[in-house]
Chain A
């Protein structure tokens, strides 16, 4: 009950003209960025970071939160109309979305099914977040340096281990991210380190240009290869709002899978490294076990509803560990966390007690963003084909220049631009070589927290490792850590000795 009262207080924080406009702007940009194939929520949030400097932290994070959340809506549009997922969580949406739009000739209904399911899934996720966030924070209050160190190691390892196809590569970039974050001033002793005599490096590698380069500019370099590709839709009929409305029967079909996936997706979103993509995959896989009016994969409403509800619920669920423990579950979460730290806020167990307006304002803003995004999503339907047909070759110079001016504006010098360019080139090389950069971003953001907690733990224990094994919570995290490390090794050995079947490439 207290939580609902606090949520109501959160609404009083959000319901100002400035915050509503910020939320609306974020939701609108998120849908557009999500709809355009190839940009994605991570690059979208990174590119928008410099624009938020003008706002106070609450308004800024409301805008970024709305952008991240609405991106999940936008990702399904190109999946349904072009058979090209706007981002990875929308991959599953193509399976039923595109056949429903083309074979069943119901593109408007497919879009509205995705929107409605996203709304339902997201609402469930936010309601669970309202209760789970403070409960997680209460648990987090019991954590000392040893527990936090172990938890951070679990978070970093799990995302490094789970994202991408090779855990070794994920872990390699996790370590590299920690070392890059170590450059500059040592926060505990104030001693400059790893600056290599460079005056700019004394302040460390600036977060925003680093992220803009690693995800935004790297994406531009990648898009260069696709710039002559034409994205033409095979949809013959005109898309109108009226022609897209769902029948009562359609709504009855989408409701059960959307509710089921809403719950499932939220709990998947809470786990580090899992996120919206895993949520969508699991939501769709679970739906296979239930009765469907049409076979999944042939344009079934249930198929679209299950994955769309799950990915939006996961996006909402991911805010629980981010706000309550300061642990983001994905690359986008890491960028949001970096933004929070930049504005002087420290997400973690104390956030709900020291900055309740902020924490509850953000949760309340997600509810508002959910409603606003649904309205925008409806209004945008007639213009979707035109938005999706924007040639990539026109997007490239626009995004490049946003990367450049955004990086400059954070450091007020060309140093930021150089950091952006260098990290962009590295980001592109890493991604092309099969190294996912999300673990690196997460490690970069969490490294100062890990270092301070690890050093404090060793000061308390006078150098003994026992501190990680004597305390039950820390021990539990260490066991999880070992399981995470052992899981791929065991899987590899079982596959090698024929106990598990090898994946057969199609």
Chain B
């Protein structure tokens, strides 16, 4: 049997997502924030509601046109950096941001990318100059120290 020419692909997910967003904004705009006051004119929901109706129409059009499009590919490899970042965020809650950055770089460059120690140390030096030199010393940013250090110094 011949496959249907029209199928819902990932490209169709984006218009569906924006349809949902527009419906939520229209609902809250009308019910909670208000659209129009006969005396004062536009209320806080006025512009969001107008734009949401426009978004709803465009999303329906985009959904219709997306049925003929091929789905994009999202290779598994591309998501590793997101996982790496999530691990870094979790690590910074536990051991602090700067130690987490060092561990992340070691694991990423030595274990994952398998680059030489020389390259690893060069990258680490660049990153630490940026993080400590620029952000901590120059901009005075106080990065999270993590629950372990917080517990010790409390």
Contact surface of A with B, Cβ cutoff 8 Å:
50-51, 53-54, 166, 168-169, 171-172, 175-176, 178-179, 182, 186, 188-189, 191, 193-194, 217, 220-222, 224-225, 227, 391, 393-394, 396-398, 400-405, 408-409, 412, 414, 417-418, 421, 424-425, 428-430, 432-435, 450-451, 454-455, 458-459, 462-463
Q: Give the docked Cα–Cα distance between A459 and B40 (Å).
A: 7
Q: Is the CB of B42 within 8 A of A459?
A: yes
Q: Is the CB of B139 within 8 A of A414?
A: no
- Count chain B CB atoms within 10 A of each CB in A408, A430, A459 and give the residue with the most: A408
- Cβ contacts under 8 Å, A394 to chain B: 109, 113, 115, 119, 123
- Cβ contacts under 8 Å, A171 to chain B: 58
Shortest Cβ distance from residue A428 to the other chain B in the assembled complex, whole angstroms: 7
Q: Give the docked Cα–Cα distance between A429 and B73 (Å).
A: 10
> Which residue of chain A is the closest to B11 with respect to CB atoms?
A433
In residues 95-113 of chain B, which contact A (Cβ within 8 Å)?
Answer: 97, 101, 104-105, 108-109, 113
Q: Is the CB of B48 within 8 A of A433?
A: no
- Cβ contacts under 8 Å, A178 to chain B: 47-48, 51
Q: Give the docked Cα–Cα distance between A409 and B144 (Å).
A: 11
Q: Is the CB of B81 within 8 A of A396?
A: yes
Shortest Cβ distance from residue A481 to the other chain B in the assembled complex, whole angstroms: 13
Shortest Cβ distance from residue B18 to the other chain A in the assembled complex, whole angstroms: 6
6 A/B residue pairs, CB under 8 Å, sorted by A? A176-B18, A224-B80, A400-B85, A405-B131, A433-B72, A455-B47
> Which residue of chain B is the closest to A402 with respect to CB atoms?
B130
Q: Is the CB of A405 within 8 A of B82?
A: no
Interface residues on B, range: 35 or more
Q: Is the CB of B109 within 8 A of A221?
A: no
- Cβ contacts under 8 Å, B58 to chain A: 168, 171-172, 175
Q: Is the CB of A172 within 8 A of B18?
A: yes
Q: Is the CB of A191 within 8 A of B55?
A: no
Q: Give the docked Cα–Cα distance between A53 and B135 (Å).
A: 10
Q: Give the docked Cα–Cα distance between A454 and B54 (Å).
A: 15
Shortest Cβ distance from residue B3 to the other chain A in the assembled complex, whole angstroms: 21
Q: Give the docked Cα–Cα distance between A182 and B42 (Å).
A: 14
Q: Is the CB of A429 within 8 A of B82?
A: no
Q: Is the CB of A404 within 8 A of B88?
A: yes
Given A175-B51, A458-B41, check contact A54 B139 (CB 8 Å).
Answer: yes
- Those 8 A-B pairs whose CB atoms lie nearest each other, nearest first: A175-B55, A186-B44, A459-B41, A224-B78, A455-B42, A451-B47, A432-B72, A182-B48
In residues 8-26 of chain B, which contact A (Cβ within 8 Å)?
Answer: 10-11, 14-15, 18, 21-22, 25
Q: Is the CB of A405 within 8 A of B48?
A: no
Q: Give the docked Cα–Cα distance between A220 and B154 (Å).
A: 38
Q: Is the CB of A429 within 8 A of B42?
A: no
Contact of B15 among A172, A217, A224 (CB under 8 A): A172
- Cβ-based interface call for B134 (8 A): yes
Shortest Cβ distance from residue B132 to the other chain A in the assembled complex, whole angstroms: 10
Given A172-B55, A194-B48, A459-B41, check contact A221 B79 (CB 8 Å).
Answer: yes
Q: Is the CB of B74 within 8 A of A429?
A: yes
Shortest Cβ distance from residue A458 to the other chain B in the assembled complex, whole angstroms: 5
- Cβ-based interface call for B148 (8 A): no
Q: Is the CB of B127 within 8 A of A397?
A: yes
- Cβ contacts under 8 Å, B119 to chain A: 394
- Cβ contacts under 8 Å, B52 to chain A: 175, 179
Q: Give the docked Cα–Cα distance between A10 and B62 (Å).
A: 48
- Cβ contacts under 8 Å, A455 to chain B: 41-42, 46-47
Q: Is the CB of B59 within 8 A of A172?
A: yes
- Cβ contacts under 8 Å, B101 to chain A: 401, 404
> Which residue of chain A is the closest to B72 with respect to CB atoms?
A432
Shortest Cβ distance from residue B26 to the other chain A in the assembled complex, whole angstroms: 10
Q: Is the CB of B127 within 8 A of A401?
A: yes
Q: Is the CB of B33 within 8 A of A193?
A: yes
